[in-house]
Structure 1
Amino acid sequence: MKKYLMILLSLAFCWVISISPAVFAEGDRTHNHNELTESHDVENHTHEHKYEDESHHDEAEDARGDGHENHEDEHGDHEDEDAKAEISPESAKKMNIVIEAVTPATIEKTVPLTGRITLNRNTKSDVRARFQGIVRDVKVNLGQSVTKGQALAVVEANESLQNYTITSPINGVVLERNTNVGDVTGDKSLFVVADLSNVWAKFHIFPRDDAFVKSGQKIAVHTLEGGEGAIGKLDMLFPTADELTQTQVGIVVLPNPDFRWKPGMTVEGDVTVATTETPIAVKNSALQKMEELGDVIFIKEGNSYLPRPVRVGSKDGSFTEILQGVKPRELYVSEGSFIVKSDIMKSTAEHAH
């Protein structure tokens, strides 16, 4: 019996020995799994904490960004409000600022021409001797003004040996004196007298403009510097072309009582070939250009002058058609707009600093 118990104990011990490594290994795996689980939980917690921090950071950045954008918008609105000039009526008068209402206007389409002031051939006289003879006396000098019937020279006739007087047939100026005492008269003119109280503006019309330029059309004549000007009409168009320039010649008769138009002067002319009625127009002097706004005019509201962007259409020498931006009867700066623009730019620059 005792022997039998010893055998059983030996078998039990061997069984215990055989299963112990597996149990221990399983325990280690369980322990390692628990450690990994704990480590994973820590990492997840750390990641979640980091995500929360980043999320809070992004929200803060968005908040700051929104605040910046709002600030920019408010600043932009503030600049728009500040883009004006405050000018009292007294100051505006001193600065020659003129206010007018937006009105309809007639816009003229013109063709530019170039020409020259010449003598009016209908008021120029070539003075000759009636009878051949010897010039005994000359009464006038070159450039002298004379009246109709005034003595110009005395000639002794060859046949009668009698002296006779040559007189001026018109009022005018002696432009040529082609004789002196002792000369023998012949067929040539002794004097050229011209009435300069009216002259011709002789213009050359190129073939590309022939179809538009007609006799009787209105024309604005001015010097190259733009200092002198007159409004006339095309009194005649020559039926022949100028041999040298191959252009048609148009004549404008200009009154010249103060002799400001001098023969030989180069002039320019703008022929009105068509007209357009526009319901909204402003004077050309009202328009200015401003950065970011383009073409503007300045609208008067009380003592404030505000830039108003406009879209322009056709224009002539006086008016510009406004297609968009203003309404009829609005008050605008027609003269002195550059002064208003300068005042606005100055105040805007000061505000920016």
Structure 2
Amino acid sequence: MKNSSVIVLAVVAAAAGAFGYRWLAPMDAPAAKGQVERQGGKDAKEEKAGAEQDEHGADRIVISDVKLAAAGVRFAEAGPATLTQTLSFNGVLRANQETVVQVTPRFPGIARAIKKRIGDVIGKDDLLASIESNQSLTVYDLKAPIGGTVIDRQISLGEYVSEQKPAFIIADLSTIWVDLSIYRQDLRRVRTGDEVLIDPDDGAGDIKGSISYLAPVGASETQTAIARVILQNPKGRLRPGLFVTARLVLAERKVPVAVHAGAIQTFENTNVVFVREGGDMLEARPVELGYSDQNFVEIRAGISPGDKYVAENSFVVKAEMGKGEAEHD
């Protein structure tokens, strides 16, 4: 009985000692050495790679040029720009109808040879086809009256042809018509000679032109009138039949500091531009915006001329900085 009492007292004392140890230990102390190492190693490293703030409170993040280039990010330098106030229109490219020729046979007969097809670039007097006359049964040549491009062919080998239907249509595509549809509410603001920026939507930039013709009558179906721009097309960039957009320049304004429109992002409810701060550091610089057009935005405060900033795909930097903020929290 005495030995049993001793054993019970020893067990109780051991339990009390363990409880006392736990009660005296800090509530936030790590449970093991491995947890201490994880907090001081991996977690601390991730926090260092995340977003931080400079002495002015602006958010900053480290991202290398190599990583940004792989994501399609492009830099530019802030500087002066000319902003334009514009009206936008839709239009279509057409062959210059003053340089389009329909080539018809002189005498009815049979097409014995076809020398050119649609898309061929030809010179003046090039042979198009050979026709056997029904009257004399002799073969005569059908030649190109102008140089240009064959845009249509309406005869086939062995087919009967006549002077009633054109065999070929040739167009000189070195100049192109751009027919713009102008709505009635905008007609009073459009004049011949006005400067227009044509966007063929091919990634090669706008083409500057001017309105050379404004139709005196409108189309009842669309309630629009045609304004025409004639553009040079020496390399064949413009193709008849394709749609374009155009901007009529109404006014111009020069500003001392501007950035590309794609550079502006909203971060933590503030307009920012991501500015390179030396090395691999990018700063979300709060900015005060001014006037803007389709391409540029005036910066009234926050950026100086010559500052290097993210001009395209700035959303990539925003996403990385947001990710860093989340890891930091």
Q: 1:185 aligns with which of 153, 162, 173?
A: 162
Q: How does 1:141-180 map to 2 (within 5 A)?
A: 142-145=117-120, 146-155=122-131, 162-179=138-155
Q: 2:210 aligns with which of 217, 234, 241?
A: 234
Q: How does 1:84-163 map to 2 (within 5 A)?
A: 84-88=60-64, 97-130=73-106, 132-140=107-115, 142-145=117-120, 146-155=122-131, 162-163=138-139
Q: Distance in 2 between matches of 1:118 and 1:258?
A: 16
Q: Distance in 1 between matches of 2:320 and 2:154?
A: 64
Q: 2:255 aligns with which of 274, 278, 284?
A: 278
Q: How does 1:194-205 map to 2 (within 5 A)?
A: 194-205=171-182
Higher-strand-fraction structure? 2
**Partner in structure 1 of residue 27 of structure 2:** none
Q: For the structure 1 residues 166 and 255, does the alpha-carbon distance in structure 2 shift closer, same or farther, using more than 3 Å as the test?
A: same
**Partner in structure 2 of residue 19 of structure 1:** none
Q: Tell me by how many angstroms 1:206 deviates.
A: 1.6
8 Å contact kept, 2:161–2:167: no
8 Å contact kept, 1:151–1:165: yes
8 Å contact kept, 1:241–1:248: yes
Partner secondary structure for residue 285 of structure 1: helix
Partner secondary structure for residue 101 of structure 2: strand
Q: Tell me by how many angstroms 1:190 deviates.
A: 2.6
Q: Tell me by how many angstroms 1:283 deviates.
A: 1.3
Q: Distance in 1 between matches of 2:304 and 2:119?
A: 59
Q: How does 1:1-353 map to 2 (within 5 A)?
A: 81=57, 83-88=59-64, 97-130=73-106, 132-140=107-115, 142-145=117-120, 146-155=122-131, 162-179=138-155, 181=158, 183=160, 185-223=162-200, 227=203, 229-244=205-220, 245-257=222-234, 259-293=236-270, 295-303=271-279, 304-352=281-329
5+ residue gaps in structure 1? 1-75
8 Å contact kept, 1:147–1:172: yes
8 Å contact kept, 2:60–2:284: yes
Q: Deviations over 1:34-83 (max 9, x none)?
A: xxxxxxxxxxxxxxxxxxxxxxxxxxxxxxxxxxxxxxxxxx98998472
Q: Tell me by how many angstroms 1:161 deviates.
A: 6.0
Q: For the structure 1 residues 88 and 177, does the alpha-carbon distance in structure 2 shift closer, same or farther, using more than 3 Å as the test?
A: closer
8 Å contact kept, 2:53–2:59: no
8 Å contact kept, 1:234–1:250: no
One-letter code aligned to 2:169: V
Q: For the structure 1 residues 93 and 226, does the alpha-carbon distance in structure 2 shift closer, same or farther, using more than 3 Å as the test?
A: closer
Per the normalisation by structure 2, the TM-score is 0.70
Q: Tell me by how many angstroms 1:268 deviates.
A: 1.2
Q: Distance in 2 between matches of 1:162 and 1:207?
A: 58
Equivalenced residues, count: 274
8 Å contact kept, 1:113–1:270: yes
Q: Which has the larger radius of gyration?
A: 1
Partner secondary structure for residue 84 of structure 1: strand
Higher-helix-fraction structure? 1
Per the normalisation by structure 1, the TM-score is 0.66
Q: Distance in 1 between matches of 2:58 and 2:299?
A: 25
Q: Distance in 2 between matches of 1:78 and 1:227?
A: 38
Q: Distance in 2 between matches of 1:256 and 1:211?
A: 30
5+ residue gaps in structure 2? 1-51
Q: Distance in 2 between matches of 1:79 and 1:278?
A: 30
